[in-house]
Amino acid sequence: MAKDIGIDLGTANVLIYVVGKGIVLNEPSVVAVNTHSGNVLAVGSEAYRMVGRTPNNIRAIRPLKNGVISDFDATEKMLSYFIDKLDVKGFISKPRTMICAPTGITNIEKKAIVQAAEKSGGGKVYLEEEPKVAAIGAGMNIFQPRGNMVIDMGGGTSDIAVLSLGDIVQSKSIRVAGDKMNADIVDYIKNKHNLIIGTHTAEKIKIQIGAATKLPAEDVKTMTVRGRDAISSMPKSVTINSNEIAEALKSTVDKIISASKDVLEVIPPELASDIVDRGVMLTGGGALLRGIDKVISNALTVPVIVSESPLENVAKGAGALLEHMNHNK
């Protein structure tokens, strides 16, 4: 018997939820390809370790950009690899798949995601909007007649939505999220310290010492960063701190806040009142940035809560929706 699966097809990571088992896979959305033969050499974690370190005949690519498929063949091969690895297909039946997409994408982009999932898993595919699924995965009851607001900050997109009665009332998706933060850090360190670093290093900096706002001296963390000197091209290391990263990320954090205000400004007053009472749920990898909840709360003047497992909410929500469909059957 095939096992139904929920997929968070993220720009940075793919998470897969198997009904009855929970999350069984969490790997980077990276594929390593031989440029001469076109053969896939590695997928996921193994391919991620190759980013920025490959010879000319090997290319480590991320087949999703800004939450949508930029390389269809690589996406299909990556999904097929992950699904085969899980052994969820039955002898006769094929798994039903719930897959998630950002709110602002086109019908063509939606079709590409569904086709990639169909070719990889082979069964019936359902497409759901990411913030709705993330809200369910974060434990919000969106099926009641009251307002729930979620800000889902992923790798490629930040999706902001207000939900009520099981659906999205108002939403906005901006292509400003974790990847843009990494690029901000790369640019800042090059401009301020004349040091060239890769996105891998920027991601590590963001996770280890990153902050969304300037911190008091006792909370500031420091980190030694190695790269290439922008002037001499020789290897070099510098020490940076949390407050520098807050400065680097300010513009991106402000854009996410601005998009959140745009959503709040157009919802009915009754829903706005519910959000004042219930607060905003932060989910996605960006929710782990130190101080982001306080910065957003101060800007929106409503309580902001970081979900318990922000990286897993979309996959969990997709699984919960599939289980709900099974139950209703």
Annotated binding-site residues for ATP read 11-13, 155-157, 203-206, 285-288
Joined together, the tokens standing for residue 251 give: 């513009």
Distance CA 187, CA 182 (A): 9
**CA dist., res. 55 & res. 57, Å (int):** 6
**CB-CB contact of 221 with 246 (8 Å):** no
HSE value, Cβ hemisphere, 13 Å, CA-based, for 324? 13
φ, ψ (nearest 5 deg) of residue 222? -120, 160
Instruction: Output the known binding site.
Output: 11-13, 155-157, 203-206, 285-288
What distance in Å separates the CA atoms of residue 302 and residue 282, rounded to the nearest whole number?
12
Tokens of 222: 């420091």
Spell out the alpha helix ranges (H) of the chain.
Answer: 45-48, 72-86, 107-121, 130-137, 178-193, 199-209, 242-264, 269-278, 292-300, 313-328
Contact in structure between 194 and 229 (CB atoms under 8 Å):
yes
Three-class secondary structure of residue 162 per DSSP: strand
Exposure string over 292-306, b if 16+ CB within 10 A, otherwise e: bbebbbebbebebbe
- Greatest Cα pair distance, the chain, in angstroms, is 66
The pairing of beta strand 158-164 with beta strand 148-153: antiparallel
